[in-house]
């Protein structure tokens, strides 16, 4: 059965995966305010706090109970990877898939511990409207939600077109309203032929027209078999620009 999803799964990356995805070094992150949006069960806040960083995450599911998040994370990681491997068009080698899944389970463990210890760092909210004032953060990191949850026809994972181009434009402008710099990963299509996901160019063009500096930057992490078009999108807010409309 062809792989697709009907919602964004609760699935998160480890610290090393995240630094590689966003082409960041630990030293780039000290002394700045960082938002992870959406954080899901990734390890950025957990590991960031142990390194003394000023970091918080936001996700619509953070209003759930800890036990429910843990159960949901384990089930969605396991079920999603099983379905991914069952479709010959998406499957990776067994070893690569197992390794990838184990990293997601390790990230979930770090997340659960930090969510219990530092609940104030996990904020409930969702794109395209974030509960922060303008320029609340120096850097917003947004991984594996935008572009990934476009429809399968557009190179994403979803069975529907719910997260369309308008949603993407609104969400990216919202991230840039609350942060001075935004880094988003990935920019490649996660289904179909190797290519850039189809909303990437129009989003980059629109944000450039708004006056911001927009670049594709090579990622330093390869996810599964996605070796081509392996870039993050970096947007630096134009100096003196008002809230994005």
Ligand X SMILES: C[S@@+](CC[C@H](N)C(=O)[O-])C[C@H]1O[C@@H](n2cnc3c(N)ncnc32)[C@H](O)[C@@H]1O
- Check residue 59 for interaction with ligand X (CB under 6 A): yes
Considering only the C-alpha atoms of the chain, give the largest distance between any 2 of them, rounded to a whole number of Å: 50
Full DSSP string of 87-117:
STTT---HHHHHHHHHHHHHHHHHHHHHHHH
Which token pair is 177? 């309203």
Stretch that binds ligand X, among 35-43, 154-162, 206-214, 237-245 (CB under 6 A): 35-43
- Check residue 223 for interaction with ligand X (CB under 6 A): no
- Check residue 11 for interaction with ligand X (CB under 6 A): yes
* C-beta closer to ligand X: residue 13 or 183: 13
* C-beta closer to ligand X: residue 28 or 162: 162
- Check residue 12 for interaction with ligand X (CB under 6 A): yes
- Check residue 70 for interaction with ligand X (CB under 6 A): no
- Residue corresponding to tokens 């609340």: 136
Which token pair is 152? 């399968």
How many residues touch ligand X (CB under 6 A)? 18
Alpha carbon distances (Å) from 47 to 33, 129, 214: 15, 26, 28
User: Rounded to an integer, what distance in angstroms lies between the CA atom of residue 230 and that of residue 234?
Assistant: 13
* C-beta closer to ligand X: residue 111 or 209: 111
- Check residue 35 for interaction with ligand X (CB under 6 A): no
- Check residue 13 for interaction with ligand X (CB under 6 A): yes
- Check residue 38 for interaction with ligand X (CB under 6 A): yes
- Check residue 42 for interaction with ligand X (CB under 6 A): yes
CB 219 within 8 A of CB 144: no
State the nearest-atom distance from the C-beta of 37 to ligand X, in Å: 6
**Residues in 133-162 at the binding interface with ligand X, rule: CB under 6 A:** 143-145
User: Rounded to an integer, what distance in angstroms lies between the CA atom of residue 68 and that of residue 75?
Assistant: 10
- Spatial CA neighbour of 60 closest among 40, 43, 80, 34: 40
Interface residues toward ligand X, by CB under 6 A = 8-13, 38-40, 42, 59-61, 126-127, 143-145
């Amino acid at each position: 059965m062809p792989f697709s999803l009907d919602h964004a799964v609760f699935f998160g990356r480890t610290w090393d995966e995240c630094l590689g995805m966003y082409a960041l070094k630990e030293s780039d992150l000290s002394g700045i305010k960082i938002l992870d949006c959406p954080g899901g069960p990734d390890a950025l806040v957990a590991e960031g706090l142990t390194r003394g960083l000023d970091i918080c995450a936001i996700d619509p599911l953070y209003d759930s109970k800890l036990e429910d998040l843990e159960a949901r994370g384990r089930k969605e990681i396991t079920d999603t990877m099983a379905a991914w491997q069952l479709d010959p068009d998406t499957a990776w080698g067994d070893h690569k898939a197992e390794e990838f899944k184990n990293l997601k389970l390790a990230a979930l463990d770090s997340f659960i511990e930090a969510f219990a210890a530092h609940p104030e760092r996990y904020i409930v909210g969702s794109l395209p409207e974030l509960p922060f004032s303008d320029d609340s953060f120096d850097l917003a990191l947004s991984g594996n939600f935008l572009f990934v949850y476009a429809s399968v026809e557009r190179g994403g994972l979803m069975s529907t077109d719910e997260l369309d181009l308008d949603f993407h434009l609104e969400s990216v402008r919202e991230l840039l309203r609350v942060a001075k710099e935004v880094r988003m990963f990935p920019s490649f299509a996660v289904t179909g032929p190797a290519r850039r996901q189809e909303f990437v160019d129009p989003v980059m063009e629109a944000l450039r027209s708004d006056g911001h500096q927009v670049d594709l930057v090579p990622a330093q992490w390869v996810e599964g078999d996605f070796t081509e078009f392996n870039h993050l999108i970096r947007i630096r807010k134009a100096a003196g620009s008002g809230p994005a409309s």
